[in-house]
Chains A and B, each alone.
Chain A
Amino acid sequence: MSFASAQFLAFFAVLFVLYYLIPRRHQWKLLLVGSVFFYFFAGWYCLVYIGVTAVTTWLAARKIGALQARQDAWLRERREELNKEARKARKAADKKVRWRWALGSMLLNFGILAVVKYTDFVLGSVNGVLSAAGAGTQLPLANLVLPMGISFYTFQSMGYLIDVYWGKYPPERSLGRFALFVTFFPQLIQGPISRYNDLSQTLYAEHRWDSRQIAMGGMRALWGLGKKLIIADRLAIPLRELTAAPEEYAGLYVLAVMFLYAVQLYADFTGGIDITIGVAQMLGVKVTENFERPFFSKNIAEYWRRWHITMGTWFRDYVFYPLSVSKGVLKLHQKARARLGEAGKRVSVYLCTMILWFVTGLWHGASWNFIVWGLLNGVVILVSQECEPLYARFHGRFPGLKGTFGYRLFEVGRTFVLMSAIRVLDVYRDVPLTFRQVGTVFTSFRPSVLWDGSFLELGLSAGDWLIAALGAAALVVCSLLGRREPVRQRLVRRPSLAWGGCAALVVCMVIFGVYGIGFDATQFIYNQF
């Protein structure tokens, strides 16, 4: 059930009405039932996967919590009789047991994710090697069906488990409540990857009708739907054409793919997240923000702090930091420093950064495109860090430049172009083709396609291009207007303007939205991750 479908609209309308009609203490139960129903639409077998994750994670977390409580009680009882070493030894022994429970659950759940998502990738890669080696045999592909949102709910559940293991908060006692945390329907399709201590604040609370919050949520969901239907799905049409026959569309077309895909992905992903957050807000639930005007970032590191924030912080907290302080890496750090001196300090940082970006790439998809995409991000971030002294020297020579509007614009433009260029790996069939296509920008650049009508043969009329351009301009304007305070927050203070704006947006969506017969309704791009 896509957010951009009549079924979802009907499903949410019924759920919304019931939610505010039933006794408030049962609201979270209704959300659980609704979420299971929503997930059932993706296929009953998906419920088995998500059910296994929810139950095993809940059980492991409960066990870890019980072990921790038992240890605390044991230590309390023997406070007087135990010395520091004995206490430490007991803690270490208990920690090992708790770790085994956490590890067992992680192996199971990441294992499920790995099997369903990466089996064919591994088999395909082995087949590639076999055929390169001239072997006549090929391994058959498993063709496993990927359950909806598996990357999102697995990461969300494992984040919770690790937090419980670290003792950040006690485990959730109720399986039903935990199941709701895992299956909460607005964020099943494409995240964000919520943290239990954030989401649980409002997810299980009793919610009264709050016109202001409902209006704010509704406006946000509507805005997200508009982004998806008017901009993202419109730009998907020429992108499909441009990438389906790459040999016909080289040179300047590849630049077009870079920038059109950047806008499409932004409209699609932020549109989906707007619907998620808006829908949740209408139910009184606060979902973590996932974007902070990323295309206004001045460098790539900042960009990644503002784009898909919950994924970035997940990898930072559960991969990068633990890896950086792991025994192996600390040993490597010491050895490298001893052998290479000052420069050796960076070896462990390089290693951790590249591992982080490798798994980030892998998380996005089971293909070499995503792995290379992730590694390229890591390389660019490290190169930027290494170039910092150069920048400092440059700015020392031109001290007045850094704060100027023009320079800021240059930085924003540079980051946008760089990110768009790296992201082009998402759209072409394989890595060699992507590099070949990018190469044609320098060898077959034909600017005449811009004005000879070629772009009108990509499935969009001049009017459609104009609408896409106006839509993209509206995104920029709204981002700028929303720097201090979200636009809808200002609108809600002036009901007439708010309702008028929503009515105008509905009309625009109905007329200019890309949907219905003749259009292949596109899923949200991040749905596939």
Chain B
Amino acid sequence: MRKKLIFTGVLWCVLLAVALWLLNALFMPKYMSEIPEGALIAEYYNETADHDVVFIGDCEVYENFSPDVLWREYGITSYIRGSAQQLIWQSYYLMEETLKYETPKVMVFNVLSMQYGEPQSEAYNRLNLDGMRLSPQKLAAVEASMTEEESMLSYLFPLLRYHTRWSELTAEDVKYMFHRDPVSDSGYLMNVEVRPAENVPEGAPLADYQFAEVCYDYLDKMVELCENHGVELVLIKAPSLYPYWYGQWEEQMEDYAAEKGLKYINFLELIDEAGLDFSTDTYDHGLHLNLYGAEKLSHWFGSWLRENCPQVADRRGEEPYETVWNEKSEAYAQRKAQLEAAWAAEQKEEPEA
């Protein structure tokens, strides 16, 4: 009786574990047809070749730089580990995790997240952290990011968070249980729509312009981490017109870069030099660049890398990069053609847009 009870128990526990694993796969949001930003972080693990340049940061990196241009024009292999409202501690742990898989020559970090000294929102945390593979870095990132209402357990067993989706499951949830289609091109989330920037508001005065201590702590850790791995850290501020980048913030970043001997580029000051035109190169009135803007910016940045970071090599003609990046370029061109066709069709229907 006792043996039978225990044997049956073990058997059922295994079955239960399998069932919960399957349910977990079913209930996780797939981010395929909606909010593709949620799929960005996990896509990195599909990469087959390493990269010389890795971008880390929020939407200001995954919307504004095109790795395909860097490859085609300069032979630079790059990847964007960006995600929506990525907080600086999330960037740090993503950086640390990336260095477990590869050692790029340059890490490019967008400094907009210096403005956030506290966890912000559960929704963005989920978009940024659910996709990370289970690792000490993920646990640390979760621990640092959780808002009051969140629990570590729900990151370890996401079913505990997403169980309420039982009434909204779709065929997409079944289709993408065990695989995802790529939503980005080496981390770049392409958008070909055009919505000019007009009357961009000035930033409202702030009570305190000083970046939080915790942000500096993580920035220090990034510097140390890159030094330890022989990686050059480059700080940038992407040319997004909004959220507003205050002069006081700029000063702090310039001082920090000077103090640490880091290269720092504020693209807001290079808009004309990069050839950006905010009447044609943004898809959301200046918050993010569209494909055309991103390509222009990448063209400029590739040239800058070539001049200022000689350790970043031209990999054209070198295997496996040549094969891998030719395939990527093909996919990039295809996506571009599809999106342009869709946008043109939309324009036809709504000419005023």
**Interface residues of A, Cβ cutoff 8 Å to B:** 6, 211-212, 215, 461, 463-464, 492, 495-496, 498-500, 502-503, 506-507, 510-513, 515-518
Q: Are A463 and B167 in contact (CB under 8 A)?
A: yes
Q: Are B23 and A510 in contact (CB under 8 A)?
A: yes
Complex Cα gap A503–B20 (Å)? 10
- Asked whether B294 is an interface residue with its Cβ less than 8 Å from the other chain, the reply is no
The smallest C-beta distance from B126 to any residue of chain A, in angstroms, reads 10
Total chain B interface residues with beta-carbon distance under 8 A:
29
Give residues 132-171 of B contacting A (CB, 8 Å).
Answer: 149-151, 153-154, 159-161, 163-164, 166-167
- Asked whether B6 is an interface residue with its Cβ less than 8 Å from the other chain, the reply is yes
**Interface residues of B, Cβ cutoff 8 Å to A:** 1-2, 4-6, 8-9, 11-13, 15-16, 19-20, 23, 27, 122, 149-151, 153-154, 159-161, 163-164, 166-167
| Option from A212, A492, A513, A517 in Cβ contact (under 8 Å) with B150 | A517
| Option from B6, B11, B167 in Cβ contact (under 8 Å) with A211 | B6
Q: Are B167 and A510 in contact (CB under 8 A)?
A: no
Q: Are B149 and A496 in contact (CB under 8 A)?
A: no
Which of A492, A495, A496, A500 has the most C-beta atoms of chain B within 10 angstroms of its own C-beta? A495
Chain B residues contacting A510 (CB-CB under 8 Å) are 20, 23, 159-160, 163
Complex Cα gap A464–B5 (Å)? 35
The smallest C-beta distance from A171 to any residue of chain B, in angstroms, reads 39
Q: Which residue of chain A lies nearest to B161 when distances are taken between CB atoms in the complex?
A: A516
Chain B residues contacting A511 (CB-CB under 8 Å) are 23, 27, 159, 163, 166
Chain A residues contacting B1 (CB-CB under 8 Å) are 211-212
A461-B167, A512-B166 given. 11 additional CB < 8 A pairs?
A: A6-B151, A212-B1, A212-B2, A492-B5, A507-B20, A511-B23, A511-B27, A511-B166, A516-B161, A517-B122, A518-B164
| Option from A461, A496, A506 in Cβ contact (under 8 Å) with B8 | A496
Chain A residues contacting B150 (CB-CB under 8 Å) are 517
Complex Cα gap A459–B112 (Å)? 38
Complex Cα gap A500–B8 (Å)? 9
Q: Are A516 and B9 in contact (CB under 8 A)?
A: no
Complex Cα gap A496–B15 (Å)? 12
Chain B residues contacting A498 (CB-CB under 8 Å) are 8
Q: Are B160 and A495 in contact (CB under 8 A)?
A: no
Q: Are A211 and B163 in contact (CB under 8 A)?
A: no
Q: Are B12 and A502 in contact (CB under 8 A)?
A: yes
Q: How many A-B pairs fall under 8 Å by CB? A: 66
Q: Are A517 and B149 in contact (CB under 8 A)?
A: yes
Q: Are A507 and B151 in contact (CB under 8 A)?
A: no
Q: Are A516 and B16 in contact (CB under 8 A)?
A: no
Q: Are A507 and B19 in contact (CB under 8 A)?
A: yes
Complex Cα gap A464–B23 (Å)? 19
The 10 closest A-B pairs by CB, nearest first: A499-B12, A495-B8, A503-B16, A463-B167, A495-B5, A211-B2, A503-B12, A511-B163, A499-B8, A211-B5
Complex Cα gap A513–B12 (Å)? 21
Q: Which residue of chain B lies nearest to A464 when distances are taken between CB atoms in the complex?
A: B167
Q: Are A516 and B164 in contact (CB under 8 A)?
A: yes
Which of B4, B16, B149, B153 has the most C-beta atoms of chain A within 10 angstroms of its own C-beta? B16
Chain B residues contacting A499 (CB-CB under 8 Å) are 8-9, 11-13
Chain A residues contacting B4 (CB-CB under 8 Å) are 495
Complex Cα gap A431–B122 (Å)? 41
16 A-B contact pairs sorted by A residue (CB < 8 Å): A6-B153, A212-B1, A212-B2, A215-B9, A463-B167, A495-B4, A495-B5, A496-B12, A498-B8, A500-B12, A503-B15, A510-B159, A510-B160, A515-B160, A516-B164, A517-B154
Chain A residues contacting B160 (CB-CB under 8 Å) are 510, 515-516
Chain B residues contacting A517 (CB-CB under 8 Å) are 122, 149-150, 154, 161
The smallest C-beta distance from B304 to any residue of chain A, in angstroms, reads 43
Q: Which residue of chain B lies nearest to A218 when distances are taken between CB atoms in the complex?
A: B9
Chain A residues contacting B151 (CB-CB under 8 Å) are 6
Chain A residues contacting B161 (CB-CB under 8 Å) are 516-517
